[in-house]
Amino acid sequence: TGRIRANAERHEEVCFEASEAGRLLPSNVALEFSLQYASVIAFGRIRILEDEAGKKRALYGLIEKYFPGMQ
């Protein structure tokens, strides 16, 4: 097992972060440039699903929650 799986087996409380870099925002002043980005941080409890049916139910539940009506 990998590090993430091993940690999930020991601790159910988790934090997940994902980010995506956008475009560079240049400046005429030294050290004043910036970068657009999008990010999300989620806190919660993790549960490892072993069976295929449970995995599919969880995935379809997330899809229905965030993209209602999508198949």
pTM over 0.75: no
Per-residue pLDDT tens digits for 44-61: 999 999 999 999 999 999
Instruction: Give the E-state strand segments of the chain in sequence order.
Output: 13-25, 34-45
Q: What angle do CA 33, 19, 56 make, to 5 degrees?
A: 165
Q: CA 30: distance to chain centroid?
A: 34
User: 8 with 45: CB under 8 angstroms?
Assistant: no
Token pair 């490892």 is found at: 48
Specify the pLDDT at position 22: 96
Helix (H, G, I), strand (E, B) or coil at 50: coil
